[in-house]
Amino acid sequence: MDCHEVEGLLSPYLDGELEPAVSTTVRAHLDTCSACRQRLANLESVGRMVRRAPYYQAPDRLRARLTQSRTRSTTRSQLLAWAAVVVMVASLSGSILFVRSSTRAARTVDPVDVVAQEVVNSHVRAMMGEHLFDVRSTDQHTVKPWFLGKLDFSPPVTDLAQAGFPLTGGRLDYMAGRPVAALVYTRGQHTINVFVWPEASDAVRSPDARAIRGFHVRHWTHAGMSYWAVSDVNDTDLDQFVHALQQ
């Protein structure tokens, strides 16, 4: 049996998995070959390390062992084996820490905040001229039926021209993981986007106000629908608009 064959049998040898005759042959080779004895010793210490060392202590201990073994003029392959273990342990503990911290982060993110960001992103994209209208009309009786068959709900569509916020149209949008209605209103030169979709809970939520990247955002729920209004109009105008829409 040569060194190459023995090397392939060292792991099962160590675990006592070899046939007695094969095990005896390996032992006989080890008695005469210091290179294979060294490989066996490496294998043993790696096994001990993996079994016993808590993963977060391992990098320091292994670093110490690496420094020690370097002074003992050991082989290049031994150093490589240690380096591989260091990398494995470090990446394992790294991913455990990553999973822990992202779990913690996920707990503190309010889904409503995520939707608020989406609402502003969609408003910005629409205002940049990408896609503001699928149906362009100031007539609520044209805009409302346009959504028929395109959504699994019928969004309330009201022209608010009398209150100073004329309806100018609407489009299909995609928000919070579902298709939604986007209604477009104006106030002077300003555009107000209103996103509407069915709300899972029946709870009525009075408008909450937030400002995201310079845009004013209002969110409320009413009659089983979730509403988001976003615009660059001032707070007073937007509150007035929300009030008019809720009538």
Q: Is 26 in the site for Zn ion (CB under 5 A)?
A: no
Q: Is 3 in the site for Zn ion (CB under 5 A)?
A: yes
Enumerate long-range contacts of 59-66, CB under 8 Å, 24 or more apart: 59/86, 59/89, 59/90, 59/93, 62/86, 62/89
Minimum CB distance to Zn ion smaller for 29 or for 65: 29
Measured from the CB of residue 3, what is the shortest distance to Zn ion in angstroms? 3
Binding mask 189-218 for Zn ion (x = CB under 5 A): ------------------------------
User: Quick check: 127 and 120 in contact, CB under 8 A?
Assistant: no
Among 14, 22, 33, 161, binds Zn ion (CB under 5 A): 33
Minimum CB distance to Zn ion smaller for 1 or for 204: 1
Q: Is 18 in the site for Zn ion (CB under 5 A)?
A: no
User: Could you tell me how many residues of this chain bind Zn ion (CB under 5 A)?
Assistant: 3
Which span (33-41, 85-93, 150-158, 239-247) binds Zn ion, by CB under 5 A? 33-41
The label of the residue with tokens 């032992």 reads 27
Minimum CB distance to Zn ion smaller for 9 or for 194: 9
Minimum CB distance to Zn ion smaller for 24 or for 57: 24
Minimum CB distance to Zn ion smaller for 18 or for 175: 18
Residue nearest to Zn ion (CB): 33
Binding mask 34-73 for Zn ion (x = CB under 5 A): --x-------------------------------------
Q: Which residue type, as a one-letter code, is found at position 103?
A: T
Residues binding Zn ion (CB under 5 A): 3, 33, 36
